[in-house]
Amino acid sequence: MKTLYTRRQFLQCAAVMPLLASLLLQGCKESSQPCMDPELLSTGEKHLRKQLAYVELSEELSRQCGLCQFYHASKSGDCGECELLDGSVSRQGSCTSWAADTRRER
């Protein structure tokens, strides 16, 4: 099946693409913002985060902060509070103390 597009359809699509691309990039920039400025952390907190190998973006989707029993979500955004760490952590983050959240039914 061959689909032919008119020049008008092509130009309409070409006009919309930059807008979609900028919206997509904007979303990527916002989601890559750290939840906590490392410069604002105390020396002890920096040490603890390093000791627990905390990362803002975990590649292991099933072991992210959002699924951890120590995580408390905030009302907005992808940042929340961890019972073990001071300051904000990312919902997509993780550390070596991750424990399955048994508070919620799945």
- For ligand SF4, the binding residues (CB under 6 A) are 54, 65, 68, 70-71, 82, 84-85, 89, 93-95, 97-98
Q: Which is nearer to ligand SF4, 27 or 34 (CB)?
A: 34
**At closest approach, how far in Å is the CB of 103 from ligand SF4?**
12
Angle at 93 between CA 74 and CA 97, to 5 degrees: 100
Q: In the chain, which ranges are E strands?
A: 71-73, 79-82, 88-90
Q: Which is nearer to ligand SF4, 79 or 89 (CB)?
A: 89
